[in-house]
């Protein structure tokens, strides 16, 4: 069972992920579901949610499968009102019901077409079948423009027929009166207007007494009077009564329709539930698309193996600003479950810690995570953190007390199935006394066999991590010359804070730096210097290692080029030999034919010569056939070999394309997301790719030429 710690979720900014997710929802009900979202209690629930979102993503990314567009109405209010006996739904509600019913049927038909291919999604469709009863009932009343049909009832047909007849009579009378009054010059420029749905004359006020009828109003200036002609007074009254009767009949029709729809309330609720569920799944899919989320592997035990993971909020923010986001890879298991990250500030320690925590929260909440698909997530019963980004100097004392209270909570509640995330562990108090207390707490947390990621500047904590069997040091690498952060996590050794080096680079006088060093023990200064040296050497080693890999790759390509050239020369040599053999054959045949020509005697008996010539030609013909058959067989073999070689060459070409060095300006494909982009810049093994309007950062190994 997962024990949710709201404070940890807040510190890890899980609420911001939920806000992004809410923005992708269509219905208010779905947004309410997101608001309540927190880690599930079991891995089977997580598997279900990841499976649903992953299958939805496959459908959306499939070029030959078009899922009906999720454009629907939230019927929560209508469903509540349908439960009230006697309540009449307005026309707008039936429009919503009709659209949702159409969409439900389309979705059901889509899933039936691909039955068995999407097992997770199919499960949420199995309790509902397509039904036309709601559609049939509504379409009997409403036309395609969602106006109530004339024949929705016999009475409505009678009323509307009378309305049309009465309107024709009114208009006929009105046109006759207008023509007469216009000839007399009694009409204003506008001639007519409408008041209370009645057609009235615009009469110049001077002549109003000369026009029989009811004065229904005057213009603002008083210059015009609006008169209902006496010939239409009774007809207008009849028309008003007909309009009233029409409204009453429509209300009756809607009441009858509401009664029929009320009988289908279970179906409406099931359909709405399905649409809200798909809305939630679609929102999770859109969130994953925005941050390159994937479905990772997972196991039902505490374990961490995230590969090329990125902090989603940082990634989205950097993408807006055109900045790269550096991925991190971390692995922790039962043999190495306590990770201590050290190094100078602004190197990425805290963001690495937050990435682990936030991605674990997202995974256990059923959300796809921005990491490599080969990443494996374990299961934790608790995710606990003490990050305290928002603490101020003024509250330093209360901050330290708060942190001690949190530590006490971790010691009491944490166990071997807890994931602990502690930023700036041990800070907030006297360095010497606080460091000693931090060391004691560190030992206690370690003994509880928790999985933990800690960041610290304390040398005693780094030393302790190096001595404990299942703890491991790590540091964020820095450039050996500029001391600029590379945002790369290096496992296996502690990091220096580069306190004096950074001070020197920022212009602090050497005399002050030396005085500061004199206040420390020689061992402390030497240890920090050693750590800094080791860290720099490790950075150099990793760069050289990458250089060796690049050279090995170039060497392999050179060897392949040589083998191809060697094969080409070999084929040319064979072709030359065949050409020489063919020429020799022609020379011998030519000499023989020359002999026959010299023996031929015009006008004499050449019968013996002709017999010899015929015999020779027969032998040569036989040889020719035999040679042709051999050549044909050889060509067939060569043709087959050529086809095979072409396939091999094509494959090799593809492989070479994959292995060909990626340079600035190349068109590439990001393997894990299949996104196409252009290489903007390259730093060591990292490439910055422009995809659309966004800038992504990834490793060279994760790219292929497009």
- Report the distance separating Cα 82 and Cα 265, nearest Å: 8
Backbone angles phi, psi at 207, to 5 degrees: -105, 10
Least confident of 22-26, 109-113, 168-172, 494-498: 494-498
**Model confidence band, residue 369 (pLDDT cutoffs 50, 70, 90):** very high
Which pLDDT score, from 0 to 100, does residue 397 have? Answer: 46
Domain that holds residue 172: 151-247
Do 476 and 331 belong to one domain? yes
Of 480, 475, 470, nearest to 450 by C-alpha is 470
Cα angle 533, 536, 541 (rounded to 5 degrees) comes to 120
The answer, yes or no, to whether residue 514 has pLDDT greater than 70, is yes
What value, to the nearest 5°, has the Cα angle with vertex 392 and ends 390 and 393?
155
- The residue with greater pLDDT, 351 or 490, is 351
Report whether pLDDT(391) > 70.
no
Burial degree of 60 (CB within 10 A; 0-12, 13-18, 19+): middle
Q: What are phi and psi of 126, to 5 degrees?
A: -70, -20
Residues 274, 224 share a domain: no
**Which pLDDT score is estimated for 683?**
81
Closest CA to 306 of 256, 235, 361: 361
Domain co-membership, 188 together with 56: no
**Cα 381 → chain centroid:** 28
Distance of alpha carbon 313 from alpha carbon 290, whole angstroms = 10
Question: Taking the CA of residue 347 as centre, how many other CA atoms within 13 Å lie in the half-sphere pointing to its CB?
Answer: 28
698 occurs within a structural domain: yes
Q: Which of 454, 478, 495 is the last residue of a domain?
A: 495
Query: What six digits make up the tokens of 121?
Result: 């999604």
Same domain, 96 and 199: no
Contact 141, 260 (CB under 8 A): no
Q: 81 and 25, same structural domain?
A: yes
d(CA 159, CA 165): 10
* Same domain assignment for residues 449 and 335: yes
Torsion of CA 71, 77, 82, 85, to 10 degrees: -170
> Do 383 and 328 contact (CB within 8 A), yes or no?
no
> What value does the mean pLDDT of the chain take?
83
Instruction: Give the angle subtended at the CA of 705 by the CAs of 702 and 706, to the nearest 5°.
Output: 115
CB 253 within 8 A of CB 83: no
Q: Is residue 630 part of a domain?
A: yes
**Who wins on pLDDT, 441 or 487?**
441
Q: Is residue 506 part of a domain?
A: no
Kindly give, in sequence order, each residue whose CB lies less than 8 Å from that of residue 215, ignoring residues fewer than 6 positions away.
208, 225, 226, 227
Asked if residue 321 belongs to a domain, the reply is yes
Shared domain check, 213 and 116: no
* Pair 111, 188 in one domain: no
pLDDT at 119: 93
Angle at 449 between CA 444 and CA 454, to 5 degrees: 70
What does the alpha-carbon distance between residue 224 and residue 227 come to, in Å, rounded to a whole number?
10
By the 8 A CB rule, do 384 and 413 touch?
yes
pLDDT recorded at residue 418: 94
Q: What is the pLDDT of residues 291-322, one digit of tens each?
A: 999 999 999 999 999 999 999 999 999 999 99
pLDDT computed for residue 699 by the predictor = 82
β strands within 283-429, DSSP E: 297-298, 304-309, 328-332, 338-342, 376-377, 382-386, 418-422
The pLDDT score that the predictor gives to residue 655 is 47
CA-closest candidate to residue 688, choices 407, 487, 484, 418: 487
Can you give the pLDDT at residue 559?
75
Residue 339 phi, psi dihedral angles, 5° rounding: -105, 125
The model's confidence at residue 424, banded by pLDDT at 50, 70 and 90, is confident
Check if the beta carbon of residue 308 is closer than 8 Å to that of residue 371: yes
Average pLDDT over residues 527-540: 56
Give CA–CA dist 454/382, Å, rounded. 16
H helices present in 218-347, as ranges: 233-262, 265-290, 312-321
Report the pLDDT averaged over residues 515-537: 59
Is residue 183 in a domain?
yes
Whether 344 contacts 498, CB under 8 Å: yes
Res 337: pLDDT: 93
Answer yes or no: do 471 and 612 share one domain.
no
Reported as a single tens digit per residue, the pLDDT across 239-280 is 999 999 999 999 999 999 999 999 999 999 999 999 999 999
User: Mind listing the pLDDT tens digit for each residue in 618-675?
Assistant: 777 776 666 666 665 665 566 555 555 555 555 555 545 545 678 877 888 887 667 7
388 located within any domain: yes
Angstrom distance (rounded) from CA 121 to CA 134 = 24
Q: Do both 454 and 395 map to the same domain? A: yes
481 token code pair: 């010359």
* Contacting residues for 582 by C-beta, under 8 A, at least 6 apart: none
Nearest to 25 by CA among 287, 272, 271: 287
Specify the higher pLDDT residue, 504 or 5.
5
**pLDDT value at 392 more than 50:** no
Let me know if residue 29 belongs to a domain.
yes
DSSP string, 291-309: TT-B--EE-SSS-EEEEEE
Of 189, 221, 247, which one is at a domain's C-terminal end?
Answer: 247
- The pLDDT value recorded for residue 496 is 60
CATH at 345 = 3.40.50.300
- Average pLDDT, integer, range 399-415: 83
pTM confidence score: 0.69
Which residues touch 665 (CB under 8 Å, ≥6 apart)?
A: 678, 679
Residue 581 lies in a domain: yes
With 70 as the cut, is the pLDDT of residue 451 above it? yes
CB atoms within 10 A of CB 274: 20
pLDDT digits (tens, 9 = 90+) for 589-622: 777 777 777 777 777 777 777 777 777 777 777 7
- What would the mean pLDDT of 524-541 be, rounded to a whole number? 56
Q: State the pLDDT at residue 457.
A: 81
The number of domains in the chain is 5
Query: Any bridge partners for residue 500, and if so which?
Result: none
Residues 6+ apart with CB under 8 A from 668: 662, 676, 677, 678, 679, 687, 689, 703, 704, 705, 706
Instruction: Give one word for 663, left, alpha or beta, with left for phi > 0 and alpha for psi -120 to 50.
Output: beta
278 and 344 together in one domain: no
Across the range 209-214, mean pLDDT stands at 90
As a whole number, mean pLDDT of residues 558-577 equals 75
**Domain check: are 166 and 197 in the same one?**
yes
pLDDT digits (tens, 9 = 90+) for 113-164: 887 889 999 999 988 888 999 999 999 999 999 999 999 999 999 999 999 9
> Which carries the bigger pLDDT value, residue 295 or residue 514?
295
**CATH number for 223:** 1.10.1420
């Amino acid at each position: 069972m997962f024990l949710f710690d709201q404070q940890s979720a807040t510190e890890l900014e899980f609420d911001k992920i939920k806000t992004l997710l809410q923005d992708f929802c269509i219905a208010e009900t779905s947004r309410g579901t997101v608001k309540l979202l927190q880690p599930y209690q079991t891995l089977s629930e997580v598997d279900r949610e990841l499976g649903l979102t992953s299958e939805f993503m496959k459908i959306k990314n499939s070029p030959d499968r078009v899922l009906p567009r999720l454009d629907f109405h939230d019927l929560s209010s209508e469903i509540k009102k349908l439960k009230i006996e006697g309540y009449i739904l307005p026309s707008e509600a039936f429009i919503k019901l009709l659209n949702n019913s159409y969409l439900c049927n389309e979705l059901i038909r889509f899933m039936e077409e691909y039955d068995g291919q999407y097992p997770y999604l199919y499960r949420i469709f199995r309790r509902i079948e397509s039904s036309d009863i709601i559609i049939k009932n509504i379409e009997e009343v409403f036309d395609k423009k969602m106006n109530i049909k004339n024949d929705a009832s016999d009475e409505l047909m009678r009323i509307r027929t009378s309305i049309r007849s009465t309107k024709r009579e009114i208009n006929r009378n009105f046109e006759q009166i207008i023509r007469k009054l216009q000839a007399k010059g009694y009409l204003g420029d506008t001639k007519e207007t409408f008041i209370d749905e009645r057609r009235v004359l615009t009469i110049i006020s001077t002549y109003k007494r000369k026009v029989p009828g009811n004065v229904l109003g005057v213009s603002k200036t008083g210059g015009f009077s609006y008169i209902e002609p006496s010939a239409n007074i009774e007809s207008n009254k009849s028309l008003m009564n007909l309009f009233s009767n029409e409204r009453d009949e429509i209300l009756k029709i809607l009441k009858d329709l509401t009664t029929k729809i009320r009988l289908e309330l279970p179906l409406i609720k099931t359909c709405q539930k399905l649409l809200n569920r798909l809305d939630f799944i679609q929102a999770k899919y859109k969130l994953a698309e925005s941050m390159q989320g994937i479905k990772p592997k997972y196991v039902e035990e505490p374990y961490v193996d995230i590969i090329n993971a990125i902090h989603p909020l940082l990634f989205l923010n950097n993408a807006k600003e055109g900045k790269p986001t550096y991925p991190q890879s971390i692995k922790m298991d039962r043999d190495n479950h306590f990770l201590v990250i050290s190094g100078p500030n602004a190197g990425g320690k805290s963001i690495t810690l937050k990435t682990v925590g936030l991605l674990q929260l997202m995974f256990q909440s059923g959300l796809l995570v921005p990491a490599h698909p080969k990443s494996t997530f374990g299961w934790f019963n608790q995710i606990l953190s003490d990050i305290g980004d928002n603490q101020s100097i003024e509250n330093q004392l209360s901050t330290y007390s708060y942190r001690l209270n949190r530590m006490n909570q971790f010691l009491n509640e944490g166990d071997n199935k807890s994931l602990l995330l502690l930023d700036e562990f041990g800070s907030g108090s006297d360095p010497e006394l606080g460091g000693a207390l931090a060391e004691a707490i560190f030992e206690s947390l370690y003994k509880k066999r928790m999985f933990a990621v800690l960041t610290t500047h304390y040398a005693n904590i780094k030393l302790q991590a190096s001595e404990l069997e299942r703890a491991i040091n790590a540091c964020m690498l820095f450039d050996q010359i500029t001391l600029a952060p590379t945002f790369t996590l290096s496992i296996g050794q502690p990091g220096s804070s580069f306190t004096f080096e950074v001070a020197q680079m920022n212009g602090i006088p050497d005399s002050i730096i030396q005085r500061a060093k004199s206040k420390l023990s020689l061992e402390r200064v030497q240890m920090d210097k050693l750590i800094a040296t080791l860290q720099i050497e490790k950075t150099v080693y990793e760069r050289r290692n990458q250089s060796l890999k690049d050279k090995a790759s170039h060497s392999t390509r050179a060897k392949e080029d040589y083998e191809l050239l060697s094969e080409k020369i070999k084929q040319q040599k064979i072709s030359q030999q065949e050409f020489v053999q063919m020429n020799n054959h022609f020379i011998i045949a030519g000499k023989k034919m020359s002999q026959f020509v010299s023996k031929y005697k015009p006008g004499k008996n050449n019968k013996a010569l002709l017999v010899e010539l015929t015999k020779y030609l027969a032998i040569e013909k036989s040889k020719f056939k035999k040679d042709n058959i051999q050549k044909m067989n050889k060509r067939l073999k060569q043709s087959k070999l050529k086809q095979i070689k072409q396939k091999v060459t094509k494959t090799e070409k593809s492989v070479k394309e994959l292995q060909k060095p990626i340079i600035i300006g190349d068109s590439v494909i990001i393997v894990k997301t299949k996104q196409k982009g252009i290489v903007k810049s390259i730093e060591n093994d990292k490439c910055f790719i422009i995809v659309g309007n966004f800038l992504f950062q990834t490793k060279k190994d994760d790219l292929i030429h497009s």
